[in-house]
Structure 1
Amino acid sequence: MSVKNTSSSFVLLALTTSLFIASLALKAKAGGIAVYWGQDEEEGTLTATCRSGLYKYVNIGFLSTFGSGQTPKVNLAGHCDPDSGGCQRVSVDIRNCQSLGIKVMLSIGGGDGSYSLSSSDDARGVADYLWDHLLGGQSNFRPLGVYRKKVYLTAAPQCPFPDQKLNGALNTGLFDYVWIQFYNNPPCEFDASDPEKYKNSWRTWTSNIPARKFFEGLPASKAAARSGFVPSQTLINQVLPFVKGIGKYGGVMLWDRANDVRTGYSSRIKDSV
């Protein structure tokens, strides 16, 4: 009897060890949710967004005017007017988010706006402006107030590979996070009836671009994009198991906070991301 009990103990120990190792592996693959904020008054404040407990990353959108001799300008829709200094209170929101361990990014570009880079010198000028006025510099005019922490470099390319505008930059290996827009792009969006086109796209991105982590970019509601919406259970059951197994998985990026508030999408997927 004692031999059987000893054997059972070894079996139990082995099973417990295996479960522990499996648990560690799952935690290692755990990602986070990134969300865009700044283009809809109904989404609430940036502080409330961060205090929701749903996100690890918040992209403030957008710096929508820059380059070709233009003075860079931030557009936060109806939230505030940066030109009049009305957005400096966002500085408090940013610090609130950072105190919670949430990484806050400034999204450069956007779907609407006036931006282009006419030369390398033009690009350097924009970079200098960003540093002096929005990051670690000392300019008197700081439209978002103080914004100083470790600087991360991210990009949001369209899912067709290679991205026509960002490919050269992405291949430098300087990017920390890449939020790939798998929406408004039917050739590479997830389609339950033909998942291989999406899977091939994800493999191509993660194997060819030297970035730290990649995120599945999705609309938070059907109304948030022309195409590419993935129901939450489909994401949980069919998409996430695949992307977590490829490597360099970072999580899910959602457009945007306002749509997420309306649908509760991130709440449904958070524990699976």
Structure 2
Amino acid sequence: MPSFQFPIHLLTFLYFSLIAVSTAASRRSFEVGVYSTRNALIDVCNSGNYQIINVVFTVSLGNAQTPEINLIDHCNSTAVDGCTKFSQEIKACQASGIKIMLSVGGGSGKYNLNNFTEATNFSTYLWNNFLGGQSNSRPLNDVVFDGVDITNERSSWDNWSKLGEELGKLYEKQGKKFYLSAAPQCSSLDSSSQSIPQPGIFDYISVQFFGDNLVCQYLNGRFEGFWKFWNVWKTFSADKVFVQMLAGPMAEDMGYIPPDVFRSEVLPELQRSSKFGGVILWSEDIDKGYSSKINPKVCGSVEAASESANEIAEFPMGNNYVGQRGFRSCRGSCVL
């Protein structure tokens, strides 16, 4: 009776595939996003480091003034070529699978939302000029952002949540998926007027774990405040909770976490939660390699964000690949 011998290369493939799937199952996938302020958007997208880009605009809003988003940091709508190039960059980024979010609020601009009426009016303005609506004055013509990111540092979150609710109603009528995100400061779950409510309207939030508020920052090698607030925020009523961090060291005591510390001491714990969505970095202009050092989709490791063996490791490299064992993955060389 002839004996059957299983091909050794298939055994090798199955062996490493089991390792890859087992490793992936113990890691939750996550995305890396960034705030883009002034740099060329197409360069930010072509870096391959980000899956979400929040494009920051200066807003004039509230106190009975007509809502206006100033594009001057990105293009000049009154020039001969207007914002044609910027519009083309947005479309190119979206075509490559990157979500381009319209970010409103922040630390600059003359904005406020004083009541629900202003929130409703602003939602209509955003919808008609930058999202799925129609207007004769769309500054970026037929560009449609993938959603809106709200960074409120001025007034009650109740009014901004109302803005989100109104946008949600418009999204439902369109029949296309738009995203709504919020970027609260880490202390915005207390009982103060700046507390953010939990109406369940946000697809995800990115909590600011840096800045002037020292209660939740990584400081002098200590994470007590960071973990205290993360354990509260991970229960927030959004689909996903992102951690917003500095992409580079700024002023002292701002909460910057070095990338090696983040990968070894922070990321494993964050990935224990099914609510962890990823990291949003502030900002692209100070990102000198931080995103590539923490992004599994960039470094091409066996921790790549996928639960599929085909995504992680398609081809075994045998017993010796430059002296090491591993896979040649769809995202690069993965050494085990």
Q: Do the two structures share a fold, i.e. TM-score over 0.5?
A: yes
Match for residue 223 of structure 2? 195
1:21-100 equivalences under 5 Å are: 21-26=21-26, 29-38=28-37, 40=38, 43=39, 45-76=40-71, 78-82=73-77, 86-100=82-96
Does the CA-based 8 Å contact 2:58-2:108 persist in structure 1?
no
Partner letter of residue 47 of structure 2? S
Does the CA-based 8 Å contact 1:232-1:269 persist in structure 2?
yes
Q: What SS class does the counterpart of residue 215 from structure 1 fall into?
A: strand
TM-aligned CA deviation for residue 127 of structure 1? 0.3
Q: Is the counterpart of residue 155 in structure 1 residue 151 in structure 2?
A: no
C-alpha separation in 2, matches of 1:137 and 1:196:
46
Q: What SS class does the counterpart of residue 120 from structure 2 fall into?
A: helix
TM-aligned CA deviation for residue 75 of structure 1? 3.5
TM-aligned CA deviation for residue 269 of structure 1? 1.4
TM-aligned CA deviation for residue 119 of structure 1? 1.5
Larger fraction in helix: 1
C-alpha separation in 1, matches of 2:267 and 2:220:
13
Q: State the Cα deviation string for residues 148-167 of structure 1 (Å, max 9, x = none).
A: 35310000000114164361
Q: What SS class does the counterpart of residue 178 from structure 1 fall into?
A: strand
Does the CA-based 8 Å contact 1:220-1:259 persist in structure 2?
yes
TM-aligned CA deviation for residue 76 of structure 1? 4.5
Q: Give unpaired runs (5+ residues) of structure 2.
A: 1-11, 147-176, 297-302, 306-336
Match for residue 327 of structure 2? none
Q: What SS class does the counterpart of residue 57 from structure 2 fall into?
A: strand
TM-aligned CA deviation for residue 65 of structure 1? 1.5
TM-aligned CA deviation for residue 91 of structure 1? 2.0
Question: Structure 1 length as normaliser, TM-score?
Answer: 0.83
Match for residue 242 of structure 1? 269
Q: Is the counterpart of residue 223 in structure 1 residue 250 in structure 2?
A: yes
Structure 1 residues 186 and 47 mapped into 2: Cα distance closer, same or farther (>3 Å)?
Answer: same
Q: State the Cα deviation string for residues 61-82 of structure 1 (Å, max 9, x = none).
A: 0242222322323334543234
Structure 1 residues 166 and 49 mapped into 2: Cα distance closer, same or farther (>3 Å)?
Answer: farther
TM-aligned CA deviation for residue 18 of structure 1? 6.2
Does the CA-based 8 Å contact 1:218-1:229 persist in structure 2?
yes
Match for residue 107 of structure 1? 103
Does the CA-based 8 Å contact 2:33-2:280 persist in structure 1?
yes
Structure 1 residues 228 and 142 mapped into 2: Cα distance closer, same or farther (>3 Å)?
Answer: same
C-alpha separation in 2, matches of 1:73 and 1:224:
32
Match for residue 7 of structure 1? none
Match for residue 214 of structure 2? 186
Match for residue 314 of structure 2? none
Q: Is the counterpart of residue 256 in structure 1 residue 283 in structure 2?
A: yes
Q: State the Cα deviation string for residues 231-256 of structure 1 (Å, max 9, x = none).
A: 11011111111111122111111111
Q: What SS class does the counterpart of residue 24 from structure 2 fall into?
A: helix
Match for residue 172 of structure 1? 199
Structure 1 residues 217 and 225 mapped into 2: Cα distance closer, same or farther (>3 Å)?
Answer: farther
| Aligned pairs, number | 254
Structure 1 residues 90 and 23 mapped into 2: Cα distance closer, same or farther (>3 Å)?
Answer: same
C-alpha separation in 2, matches of 1:146 and 1:17:
45
Q: What SS class does the counterpart of residue 215 from structure 2 fall into?
A: coil
Q: What SS class does the counterpart of residue 242 from structure 2 fall into?
A: strand
Structure 1 residues 21 and 180 mapped into 2: Cα distance closer, same or farther (>3 Å)?
Answer: same
Q: State the Cα deviation string for residues 22-47 of structure 1 (Å, max 9, x = none).
A: 233145x1211110112x3xx3x111
2:137 aligned residue (138, 141, 149): 141
TM-aligned CA deviation for residue 226 of structure 1? 5.9
Question: Structure 2 length as normaliser, TM-score?
Answer: 0.68
Partner letter of residue 194 of structure 2? K
Does the CA-based 8 Å contact 2:219-2:253 persist in structure 1?
no
Q: What SS class does the counterpart of residue 89 from structure 1 fall into?
A: helix
Match for residue 238 of structure 2? 211
CA RMSD for the aligned pairs?
Answer: 2.8
Q: What SS class does the counterpart of residue 136 from structure 2 fall into?
A: coil
Q: Give unpaired runs (5+ residues) of structure 1.
A: 1-11
Partner letter of residue 71 of structure 1? T
